[in-house]
Structure 1
Amino acid sequence: MFERTQPLHDTHPQFSTLKTSTFYEFKVENWKPAPNGSGKLIRPYPETTLALVVLALAWWGTVRYTGLTIGLWLIVQHVLLGVLHECVVVFPQHGIQLETHKGFKGLVLSSSRKFIPFANLDDVVINEALYGWNVRYYIVALTRAGNGETVLKVAFPNLLPHFPILKKVYTEMQSYIPRTTTMNNGFH
């Protein structure tokens, strides 16, 4: 049995949760609703794409084939293989997994996953950072490296959803994470 919901449907329809008997998924999709109801893929960094095109054209004049090949590959990576969705998956007995899925028009062509066992997880917090003239909020998992140093692993690193989504994810995640892991270093 599973249940997929869009808990913030009115203001953030790209956010959904999936609850099953073995895992809980928090998913942010990379689209925004259009007035006619169709979804539009958000391209996160248009200035990066423009810079890559200029770089490829500059390489075309100096090192024709190598520059063209590298330039086209970078354009394909940033234009055609956009981030489709990012997820945080909680496995209640084991840990959390941070996922990024890239592809083209709904077809997933590559995925990256980082699993964090509860034994290495100190806490999950909402942090803030300056982004230009704005303040951006993000969820971060505080983990321990092999040498005891604290390592930050950002959830939804490419899409950076707005605060209401982060608050919902944070609140629900706290109920699934064992209490013994969230108070280890006093980060709470």
Structure 2
Amino acid sequence: MQQTRPLPDCHPELSVIAWPNFREYRVENWRLARDGSGNIIRGATSWGWIDLCLPVVISFIWPRLRDSNTWCAFVVLVVGFTIYCRCAQVLHESVLVFPAYGIQLETHRGYPLLKPLFVSRRFIHASMLEDFVINEGLRRWNVRYYLAAVHGSTTEKIAVDVAFENILPYFPVLLEVYKGVQELMFYNSTDNRHTCI
């Protein structure tokens, strides 16, 4: 296993992990501030001071609300919702490229200091993969670029799966992943022609 960061100065959240049989393009849920200060902007956060004050406030309110079932249910729901929000954050998203088999899109969710609690995976077989493209979409008044795997077969309709759909990294990160997937999945390294495996 060899891990590299191809864009260390401007986008260190992207790492490429090369295994013997496949390659993983991982985008973590943080990025550098755009003002050049080098500050880290985290997408997944651990406990803050408000979260730490919640048990103290509940310990003062609980004896007074113990007789009221609706208030107890409300407090339990608030605490449960807070814990769920902290444990269901997107930690990182990956595109795994298996050159002979296909690609796999992964989303890892959990608490930042622990291993991921939830992992969702979508595998697209090489015979069904039509193309892997960078596309653009409008979000309010912004143009956002995204990576998409276009797949289907003769009996099915064409489908599109978006890579990094929760983090939506910047264009240089998408371009680096796009070039890597195109090289491994579609281009033959000996004659440099666009051939699908």
Normalising by structure 2, we get a TM-score of: 0.72
Alignment gaps of 5+ in structure 1: 45-60, 183-188
Residue equivalent to 1:155: 163
For residue 97 of structure 2, what is the aligned residue in structure 1? 90
How many residues align structurally? 165
Q: RMSD value over aligned CA atoms?
A: 3.0
Give the deviation of 1:81 after TM superposition.
2.4
Between Structure 1 and Structure 2, which shows a larger proportion of strand residues? 1
Q: 2:149 aligns with which of 132, 135, 141?
A: 141
Counting only pairs closer than 5 Å after superposition, residues 38-57 of structure 1 correspond to structure 2 as 41-43=42-44
Moved more, 79-88 or 31-40: 31-40
1:105 paired residue among 95, 98, 112: 112
Return closer, same or farther for 1:146/1:65 CA change in 2, 3 Å cut-off: farther
Q: Structure 2: any 5+ residue segments left out of the alignment?
A: 46-67, 187-193
After TM superposition, the structure 1 stretch with the greater mean CA deviation from structure 2, 73-82 or 96-105, is: 73-82
1:126-173 Cα deviation digits (max 9, x unpaired): 011111110000000011168421111000010000000000100111
The aligned amino acid for 1:126 is I
Kindly state the Cα deviation for residue 28 of structure 1 after the two structures are TM-superposed.
0.3
Q: Distance in 2 between matches of 1:156 and 1:112?
A: 12
Where 2:119 maps in the other structure, the secondary structure is strand
TM-score normalized by structure 1?
Answer: 0.75
Structure 1 residue matching 2:168: 3-state secondary structure: coil
| Bigger-Rg structure (1/2) | 2
Q: What is residue 26 of structure 2 aligned with on the other side?
A: 27
CA distance in structure 1 between the partners assigned to 2:148 and 2:171 by the alignment? 13
Q: Which residue of 2 aligns with 1:122?
A: 130
* Matched letter for residue 43 of structure 2: I
The residue type paired with residue 170 of structure 1 is Y
